[in-house]
A and B are shown apart, each in its own frame.
Chain A
Amino acid sequence: MHYCPGCSHGVVHKLIAEVIAEMGMEEQTIGVSPVGCAVFAYNYIDIDWEEAAHGRAPALATAIKRLWPERLVFSYQGDGDIGAIGTAETVHALNRGEHITMIFVNNTVYGMTGGQMAPTTLIGQKTVTCPYGREEDIQGYPLRIPELACTLDGTRYVTRQSVHSVAAIRKCKAAIKKAFMNSMEGGGSNLIEILGTCSSGWKTTPEKANQWMEENMFKFYQVGDLKDR
């Protein structure tokens, strides 16, 4: 894999691959990969993939699911993709209640381009484009996409998970499975936010990145199911 050592993307890829294999949907699944670090996701999971323009993965997933309703369709996006350039597509796809699953990996920075500030960067968090820490007066507040998604009538299952420990990874896998099952049944769209680390972007080691996530990110991004109907 092309990811940096300790990158959370590897764990999330593994969970998705395991869930698809357990469901026996290898030949029936179409993923939509984003622009960002996960742009090469199609190299690692042996299913059909489409590559979307930056932020447009929910729109493409909508089209695929409507043309192939019997297929399992999911989008795999980062925080720059789903929370910045693709917010409109994300909100409208969720609001329309498309029968897709969006997997949103939130590591609070733009990892691919070198760790710049993202909409999800925490207040006070230092990145290369806010070297003194993010200030709410200048850069505004971090964006909580799942909380936003909860207010939309089209969503069926909205949850926030993390992949920092063995127990969290197991829970995350169960959430992915539930969302994939839901998207095959219909009844609305599914969104899973997965809190991940970016040890390269955060300029730390993978071990300390996990500790930092536990200490800082969990206060603002509370882990758990937000909507389930």
Chain B
Amino acid sequence: MNLGQRFYLREVFSGLGLTAGHFFRNMGRHIAHSLGRRDARGAVTIQYPDERRRLAPRLRSLHRLAKTDHRAAWRA
């Protein structure tokens, strides 16, 4: 650690700058979104039951619980 890092206060301010930057950037995007800019997104969240992620047409995954009886499959 150099002197600036040992002193800690300067690092506190750089950390606060980072988080405050995120806050104001996201806040600006939220405001732009509510003013009609639909492409501006302030968060990465997809609110699942209301919003669905657009999936690739050839996606092969199944959103389903596999109910195979593994022990029976093993004996066969």
Q: Are A and B part of the same complex?
A: no
Residue positions of A touching B, CB distance < 8 A: none
Residue positions of B touching A, CB distance < 8 A: none
